[in-house]
Amino acid sequence: MLKAAYLHIPFCVQICHYCDFNKIFIHQQPVDEYLKSMKTEMLNTTNRFNNYKMETIFVGGGTPTSLSESQLDTFLRDVNEVLGNQSLKEFTVEANPEQTTNEKIAVLKSNGVNRLSIGVQAFQDSLLKKIGRTHNKEDVYSTVFSAKKAGIHNMSIDLMFGLPGQTMEMFKESVNEALALDVPHISSYSLQIEKKTVFYNLAQKGKLVLPEQELEAAMYEYLIETLDKRGFKQYEISNFAVPGFESKHNLQYWDNNEYFGIGAGAHSYAEGTRRRNAGPLRQYMSLIEENGFPYVEEHLVPLSEKMEEEMFMGLRKHQGVSDKTFFDRYGKSMFDVYKDPIERLIQKGWLERKKDTLMLTKEGIPLGNEVFQEFIGVVLD
């Protein structure tokens, strides 16, 4: 049974230099009309795929908090009307510090949002400006304080490392500032240079100076060791939580479960088929009006691909992949299907087996992408 939904708000007040997500400047955009199209997609989706019981909802972007108070309230009411139920355990909204006012926090709280994912990235105002962020350190403190005062204590902070001009001292300061805010979840990941971004264009011109790979690796090692000492468990490659505050929604992805994807550019996985929505706003809205659904791509996932995804998504988690779960889903043991790559990776010291479970070793975690590649394209008997 499907238990999760992702909803995409593509609007932004400012486009960050590293971001390749589906986004658009909010100025003079048909925001209200877009939100109505999202409600239509929600209704049509739940009517078509009715074997669901929502446990987690995640609103991402773009910048959901770029919506006005009234728009945010209308949107969240629609989400609750169509998707909300008594089984909902986690309702997360991404928030940018400079746009998350006390009034918007009150709207979030009154509509049942019980978790915020705050895009902080760094605690140095000069570095934030360099990566295209428009908030400052004080905005972060204010947002976290206001959310706690409103009764939202389940918060996650995003931090980035490997940023242009970022030193080890700067990253240490960011990690320690995040810990001082006393939030129960931290997501941290290295900068990836993606096409169609400001940083990509600068890199192509040789104008983007990044930290050396060794320094980036040292930042990640510092992150892991420091958070562990402070009681945060690394439950996924880039995610750390006080026990009990792991992201229930993201675990749906890493457990290779199905989910709804609502909004422009959103992806969904239902009844064994992955679907991609139109990204451009006008195209998305037109398809909703004409067909009721905004799909521009549908892919029935074959068994071999499902098993690949089970491996490279599941191995992201600290607890790894259970062979019992694998066998229950696919009728085969992963130790038979992937015998050769598993043996090879265990010999390298990147994977380890504990009873029926396979997981990354400490040495394998930084090499995750190389490990995952070993499970793609394996010829099945």
CATH of the domain at 325: 1.10.10.920
Q: Which residue among 187, 219, 254 closes a domain? A: 254
Segment 70-94, tens digit of pLDDT = 999 999 999 999 998 888 999 999 9
Tokens 């009681």 belong to which residue?
231
Q: Are residues 43 and 105 in the same domain?
A: yes
Closest CA to 150 of 113, 112, 109, 116: 109
- Whether residue 40 is contained in a domain is answered as yes
Q: Are residues 171 and 241 in the same domain?
A: yes
Structural domains in the chain (count): 2
**Residue 79's CB: how many other CB atoms inside 10 A?**
24
Q: Are residues 108 and 233 in the same domain?
A: yes
Q: Which residue among 219, 254, 289 closes a domain? A: 254
Segment 21-33, tens digit of pLDDT = 778 889 899 999 9
Q: Which residue among 195, 220, 254 closes a domain? A: 254
Burial class (CB in 10 A: 0-12, 13-18, 19+), 238: middle
pLDDT band at 381 (very low <50, low <70, confident <90, very high): low
| Mean pLDDT score, 38-60 | 97
Q: Is the peptide bond before 231 cis (omega within 30 degrees of 0)?
A: no
> Torsion-angle region of residue 62: left (phi > 0), alpha (psi -120 to 50) or beta?
left
How many DSSP H helices and E strands does the chain contain?
15, 17
The CATH number assigned to the domain holding 36 equals 3.80.30.20
Q: Are residues 141 and 27 in the same domain?
A: yes
Q: What does the pLDDT read at residue 53?
A: 94
Q: Are residues 313 and 246 in the same domain?
A: no
pTM as predicted: 0.95
What residues pair up with 66 in beta bridges, in sequence order?
A: none
Domain of 326, in residue numbers: 303-373
Segment 97-148, tens digit of pLDDT = 999 999 999 999 999 999 999 999 999 999 999 999 899 999 999 999 999 9
Q: What does the pLDDT read at residue 21?
A: 78
